[in-house]
Chains A and B, each alone.
Chain A
Amino acid sequence: MARVGVFVCYCGANIAGVVDVPAVVQEAKKIKEVKIAIEYKYMCSDPGQQMIRDAIVQNRLTSVVVAACSPRMHEKTFRKALSDAGMNPYMLEVANIREHSSWVHQKDKKAATDKAIDLIRMAIGKSIANEQLHEISVPVTKRALVIGGGIAGIQAALDIADARIPVTLVEKSPSIGGRMAQLDETFPTLDCSQCILTPKMVDVASHPYIELIPYSEVIELDGYVGNYKAKIKKKASYVDFSTCTGCGTCTQKCPVKVPNEFNMNLDKRKAIYTPFPQAVPNKPVIDAEHCTMLLKGKCGICAKFCEKGSINFKMVDEVIEREIGAVVIATGYDLWDPKPYEEYGVGRYKDIITSLEFERMVSASGPTNGVPIRPSDGKVPRNVVFIKCIGSRDEAKGIEYCSKICCMYTAKHAILLHHKVHDSHAYIFYMDIRAAGKGYEEFVKRAQVETAATYLRGRVSKIYKKGDKLMVRGEDAQIGQVVEVEADLVVLATAITAPKDNPALARLLGVSYDKYGYLSEAHPKLRPVETAKAGIFLAGCTQAPKDIPDTVAQASACAAKVCGLFSGDTMKKDPMISTINNEFCSGCQNCVKVCPYQAIVTEEIPLGPGSKEMRIVAKINEGVCQGCGSCVAVCRSMAISLAGFTDPQIINEIVAI
């Protein structure tokens, strides 16, 4: 027999001013399950809570109804009061007689009072059907997986590892460093990219809490927050890193030359190579697509010259598993291919290059030793035209969004050009200058004033060849005239795009992505580093175009989130989740279909007690279930019930009126 206590709150005059509280209490007393009904000025106050605690003990109550403000306001407060009195906190029901009665029916005191009584009846009805619930605690595997070894991945990995949490850093290419390693100097301070990046790369390699797995990819992720299991494919490098000293002899001796993607194919690398001199790990890998030994079975010079005998042509891809608790995705960005700009003669003219190609040229360690040249004839350019928004903000040919960093790096390029070629002149065609950021506007000014770059506001409509020059025709909107610039070299500020394999990755990780392929954050403003899937976070350009400061900031934010997640040995979780009654489950798996969190899986259980035959039933994954109840409503055999909102509870509310 249920023993319910009812506690009606005046909330000063907020409730009592409209609802006739004593009458309500009298009504409540008439209900047979009600053992005690009390009114008080402020139930949420300490004396109010004390009254509840005492009543629970004295009347051996089985459940408690508090008639006061919205449960969204004080449910937690009163639950605590219950547990303090040694009662299961989930035996509480709140009748919302303020927001739902006194405040909305101020002119009709009688109706408000009747309604309050009904609301309390309903709450009593529900509370009778309440069950004792206990917070669920989910174990956590304290290891983070970071996907992508660019500056974002590096920063996240280091921050997490510094908190003494093991990190597995997976990088697809042979070395970490990412795009930033390709840059020469960085805006707005012009400090050398390598100089600030390489120390961090070395830290990653040497950090006791970081496991660096280069030249590999994540191919599978199962489980749920705190308890993921990842499968990682290590691509065959054909070089035994454990014995290789990275002396580089093999690379010198290798006869095969291949376009060097690190230098944007402006020069060649060998078929056995380290992407760049400061690579981490500084061990070569063999490019299976070009190595004559692997292709035709002859050559093998590298093996002959390797004193350590580290070369192993028999090596095959290897799949390893890691148990992890959280994932940081930092897959960076790709560059947009400007081919659609046919009117510029892209693809026909060697002397039209992209910004990153220019970046490599002006890089001291680049293919041209830091001197920009014309790919066509190798001459040093004097007049260089930079065209911004190639692909960006272009619905017709490219993408709608702004790539955010082009304004800045183009200004940087103008300055760098001036540094490298003193008698050069930079012309910059732009739509707008977007220099929002610390020291950014000043930096653009510097490009305009110090290096006297000519900023022309307008689009370029045509590029055509005149002798060995490129004639760039565009509009200068500020003087409202068509201008033509005779250029030695044209640099296109191509847009940032999402990595082309982002959608595939998103699908295998179970996170969502937008129409461009950028991974979607859980909330654009309030949860910008989390994905909708608990325990998976986003850092850097994989979420949207960003500059280095923003990327690093987001990476550190991810680290903070991961550390927070791992702060305890287990994660506490609201017990209001679905449970399945195997006896009733017929295994139709409709719940599996509708669950928005893939929280329901199937398991095989014996057909009958001790029977060999198996049957399939659904199984709720406590860690993942968010308690929406979609599965409950689609379960025809009522095998699923949602704690806190069970059918009996709701029906009791309905019939209690």
Chain B
Amino acid sequence: MDYSKQIQEIASKLFAENKIDYFVGYKQNSFDDSQVPFLITDPAEIPKLVFTDRSVFNLANYLKPDHTKRKRVGLVVKGCDSRALNLLLTEGQVKRENVYIIGVCCEGVLNDKREKAQNCVECVMPDPVVYDEMLGTPSGKKKYTVNVDIKELAKMALNERADYFESIFENCIRCNACRHSCPLCYCAKCCLDQETSTLYHGANTSSGAMHALMTWSLHLAGRCVDCRNCEKACPSHLPLHLLHKQNENVIYENFQQHLAGMEKDDRGAFYKYSLSDPDDFIL
């Protein structure tokens, strides 16, 4: 999968026609074959743009600040990225007319071990769901599969699982890199930084981290598109996807197979309801 050429052409076209103020894509790293997000305002830099199976990041994250309220952006998105973008549009964080979306039909990206990343193996929607221009040929919606790690953990005894997660929470250093790397964490002021919660969970302890990560994952429940930006950003390499996948799984199985960001105007499972939702867990 290499769309570098097409993307460069489109980018130069957009600049030429003055359709955009800046463009967000990927750039080759100097030291190895990995890539970094790359924001250009100067057409001269277009040749540096690349897109291959190492373009792992979710660029929707770079629309997060009020940018698109003023500036017009050209953007490269994969399937999962486009779902995040869909949510940003629905939640009024991005003006549609201010983004020019280049949707890439993704064939899956590689992780640092150079093997197909887990979220790509389990990917439900490799094609862009919202775009102005599509590259590649759509392969259509895939069947939903339960995340392998979730299945494993479900097998564990309760107290073992508790230990496992406590170790995770203990290793969290509360740097909030996960939050900053998440395209859907755009709150003006995160609840975790507000007095109400810092008062009780400010402490950098397992319980503080537990509260923080649990709240975070619940705020992303029914919205997380499994792009794993958070995991890539985490300096302690915590398996943050576990919490998100768990929620996604519960929501998919119980609420009309809901998946985040698939349709326009879908805000996520917590912002609608069905009379036939499961009721048996309630006394």
* A interface residues, Cβ below 8 angstroms from B: 583-590, 593-594, 607, 613, 615-616, 634, 636-639, 647-648, 651, 655
Could you tell me how many residues of chain B have their Cβ less than 8 Å away from some Cβ of chain A?
22
Contact A637 B92 (CB under 8 A): no
Picked from A588, A616, A637, A648, the residue with its CB within 8 Å of the CB of B191 is A637
Picked from A585, A587, A590, the residue with its CB within 8 Å of the CB of B267 is A590
Given the complex of chains A and B, what is the CA–CA distance between A290 and B16 in angstroms?
60
Contact A637 B196 (CB under 8 A): no
In the complex, whether B158 has a CB less than 8 A from a CB of chain A is no
In the complex, whether B143 has a CB less than 8 A from a CB of chain A is no
B residues within 8 A CB of A589? 91-92
Contact A616 B92 (CB under 8 A): yes
With known contacts A589-B92, A636-B219, A584–B196 Cβ distance under 8 A: no
Contact B267 A586 (CB under 8 A): no
Picked from A588, A593, A613, A638, the residue with its CB within 8 Å of the CB of B70 is A613
In the complex, whether B141 has a CB less than 8 A from a CB of chain A is no
Q: Is the interface of B mostly helix, strand, loop or mixed?
A: loop
With known contacts A583-B188, A584-B188, A634-B270, A590–B69 Cβ distance under 8 A: no
Shortest distance between the CB of A123 and any CB in chain B (Å): 19
In the complex, whether B200 has a CB less than 8 A from a CB of chain A is yes
Picked from B66, B69, B191, B267, the residue with its CB within 8 Å of the CB of A638 is B191
In the complex, whether B194 has a CB less than 8 A from a CB of chain A is yes
Picked from B69, B196, B219, the residue with its CB within 8 Å of the CB of A651 is B196
Residue in B closest to A585 when the chains form the complex, CB atoms: B188
Contact A634 B191 (CB under 8 A): no
- Extra 5 A-B pairs, beta carbons < 8 Å, given A587-B93, A636-B219: A588-B92, A590-B267, A593-B272, A637-B191, A651-B196
B residues within 8 A CB of A586? 93, 186-188
Given the complex of chains A and B, what is the CA–CA distance between A607 and B66 in angstroms?
9
Given the complex of chains A and B, what is the CA–CA distance between A639 and B190 in angstroms?
10
Contact A594 B271 (CB under 8 A): yes
Q: Is the interface of A mostly helix, strand, loop or mixed?
A: loop
Given the complex of chains A and B, what is the CA–CA distance between A639 and B189 in angstroms?
9
With known contacts A607-B66, A634-B270, A648–B189 Cβ distance under 8 A: no
A residues within 8 A CB of B91? 587-590
Given the complex of chains A and B, what is the CA–CA distance between A263 and B200 in angstroms?
76
Given the complex of chains A and B, what is the CA–CA distance between A13 and B270 in angstroms?
48
A residues within 8 A CB of B186? 586
B residues within 8 A CB of A634? 270-271
Give the one of A593, A607, A615 with max B CB within 10 A: A593
A residues within 8 A CB of B92? 587-589, 616
Residue in A closest to B265 when the chains form the complex, CB atoms: A593
A residues within 8 A CB of B190? 637
Residue in B closest to A593 when the chains form the complex, CB atoms: B271
Residue in B closest to A607 when the chains form the complex, CB atoms: B66
28 cross-chain CB contacts under 8 A: A583-B188, A583-B189, A584-B187, A584-B189, A585-B188, A586-B188, A587-B91, A587-B93, A588-B93, A588-B267, A589-B91, A590-B91, A590-B267, A593-B267, A593-B271, A613-B69, A615-B66, A616-B92, A636-B219, A637-B188, A637-B189, A638-B194, A638-B196, A638-B197, A648-B196, A651-B196, A651-B199, A651-B200
Q: B160-195 vs A: 1/0 string, CB under 8 Å?
A: 000000000000000000000000001111110010
Given the complex of chains A and B, what is the CA–CA distance between A634 and B186 in angstroms?
15
Picked from B69, B196, B271, the residue with its CB within 8 Å of the CB of A615 is B69
A residues within 8 A CB of B197? 638
With known contacts A583-B189, A590-B267, A634-B270, A613–B66 Cβ distance under 8 A: yes
B residues within 8 A CB of A651? 196, 199-200
Contact A637 B271 (CB under 8 A): no
Contact A637 B200 (CB under 8 A): no
Given the complex of chains A and B, what is the CA–CA distance between A616 and B95 in angstroms?
12
Given the complex of chains A and B, what is the CA–CA distance between A647 and B195 in angstroms?
11
